[in-house]
Structure 1
């Protein structure tokens, strides 16, 4: 991927990591442009936010069952993954986020 494509898609990629609504806005912004850099980061942001929602639900259930309230810190998982993706987008890198960045990709 050339530097021009990265520079054109960087703003959309950054927007995608600003909450789940930002991911939707970035998707709509990139719908006509079809920038590959932005598309990659929109997918990574979606994985980060959905993971955060899922882990928060599971952590809430575990806390109510076990009473171990420290498990509620797991609710920050999505935010941490989004911050890691945001750093990659700002630096112009196409690196997958840890743990879930590869989910849903086609095998090549």
Structure 2
């Protein structure tokens, strides 16, 4: 069994802004690579990239309701992933998690 405590810091840092995700990638280099850290890096990086890409288009909707729902949806996903990292669990994000895992499988 993998030692999750060693890679928990990497997983937590990945959820702290997109810059944290980039830092976590460097923290999870070859000699210290862990599947737990890689899992959460893929989840967090996918979450941040999709937030920026989709947020650009949601902003043009010029609807307070659509924008609020978008922010709430991503905040709930972020909380779900972040609490999983804090608890040492590998929980796939609902709806988008499997896509992120397959898209960023090289990380």
Report the TM-score, using the length of structure 2 for normalisation. Answer: 0.83
**Which residue is 1:71 aligned to?**
66
**1:59, 1:75 within 8 Å by CA — same for their partners in 2?**
no
Within the alignment, does 1:40 sit opposite 2:35 as a pair? no
**1:51, 1:78 within 8 Å by CA — same for their partners in 2?**
no
Q: 1:88 aligns with which of 65, 79, 84?
A: 84
- Mean alpha-carbon deviation: is it higher for 97-106 or for 41-50? 97-106
Within the alignment, does 1:19 sit opposite 2:17 as a pair? yes
- Mean alpha-carbon deviation: is it higher for 40-49 or for 4-13? 4-13
Instruction: Count the aligned residue pairs.
Output: 100
**1:59, 1:72 within 8 Å by CA — same for their partners in 2?**
yes
- Mean alpha-carbon deviation: is it higher for 72-81 or for 85-94? 72-81
Where structure 1 has 5 or more consecutive residues not aligned to the other structure, the ranges are: none
**1:49, 1:82 within 8 Å by CA — same for their partners in 2?**
no
Larger Rg: 1
**For 1:49 and 1:27, how far apart are their aligned partners in 2?**
14
Where structure 2 has 5 or more consecutive residues not aligned to the other structure, the ranges are: none
**For 1:21 and 1:76, how far apart are their aligned partners in 2?**
21
Higher relative contact order (CA 8 A, sep 6+): 2
